[in-house]
């Protein structure tokens, strides 16, 4: 009877530990780029409690500034967009977006700007990708305020255009 009770206690303890841990958001890593265009934030402690949510990446930028046409892969020559919502960013805050090749780490794009005061939605439009080689890329969204704080990443693929 004692052995049975010890086994049940041990199983319950494993269940509690497995179910109560921190939940980490995916960052799009892994061997293959994510097929879905929903970008998950990478939690980073922030003394100002700035929130960065609703990450999107895709082909279409809606009238409110949020990306609506999500999905990939993306063809060379397409203009791509990323957007996210910012809350509680103090005046003078800056966000930047950086795109690098996954295989070689070469930087293909970087832009930074201040979040808009009224909507809280930030969007960046990546330039014409005609000159980008076919391959896998990583987009990083960074909150810049004294020190860079990674807010999220998204891996995507550029393919040859359909003929």
128 vs 28, residue with greater confidence: 128
Residue 90, token pair as written in the block: 């103090």
Confidence (pLDDT) at 47 = 55
| Residue 118 domain boundaries | 22-159
Confidence (pLDDT) at 20 = 42
- Count of residues for the chain? 163
136 vs 23, residue with greater confidence: 136
For residue 13, is it within any domain?
no
For residue 119, is it within any domain?
yes
- Specify the DSSP element, H or E, that contains 48: none
Confidence (pLDDT) at 134 = 96
For residue 105, is it within any domain?
yes
* Average pLDDT of the residues in 136-155: 88
What is the model's pTM? Answer: 0.68
Pairing of strands 51-58, 80-87: antiparallel
For residue 15, is it within any domain?
no
Pairing of strands 94-101, 135-144: antiparallel
Per the structure, how many domains does the chain have?
1
Confidence (pLDDT) at 118 = 57
Q: If pLDDT is split at 50, 70 and 90, which confidence band does 95 have?
A: very high
Looking at residue 118, which CATH number applies to its domain? 2.60.40.2550
For residue 2, is it within any domain?
no
* Average pLDDT of the residues in 19-39: 42
For residue 54, is it within any domain?
yes
For residue 16, is it within any domain?
no
The residues, any chain, with a CB within 8 Å of residue 142's CB and separated by 6 or more, are 95, 96, 97, 98, 148, 149, 150, 151
Q: Evaluate if residue 107 carries a pLDDT over 70.
A: yes
Q: Evaluate if residue 8 carries a pLDDT over 70.
A: no
For residue 4, is it within any domain?
no
pLDDT tens by residue, 71-82: 889 999 999 999
């Amino acid at each position: 009877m004692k052995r049975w009770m010890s086994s049940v206690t041990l199983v319950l303890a494993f269940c509690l530990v497995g179910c109560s841990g921190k939940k980490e958001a995916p960052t799009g890593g892994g061997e293959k780029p994510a097929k879905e265009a929903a970008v998950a934030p990478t939690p980073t402690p922030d003394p100002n409690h700035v929130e960065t949510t609703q990450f999107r990446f895709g082909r279409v930028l809606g009238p409110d500034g949020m990306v609506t046409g999500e999905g990939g892969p993306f063809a060379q020559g397409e203009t791509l967009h990323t957007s996210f919502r910012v809350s509680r960013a103090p005046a003078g805050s800056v966000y930047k977006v950086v795109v690098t090749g996954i295989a070689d780490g070469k930087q293909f794009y970087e832009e930074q700007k201040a979040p808009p005061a009224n909507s809280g939605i930030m969007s960046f439009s990546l330039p014409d990708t005609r000159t980008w080689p076919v391959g896998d890329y990583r987009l990083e969204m960074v909150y810049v305020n004294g020190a860079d704080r990674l807010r999220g990443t998204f891996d995507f693929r550029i393919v040859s255009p359909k003929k």
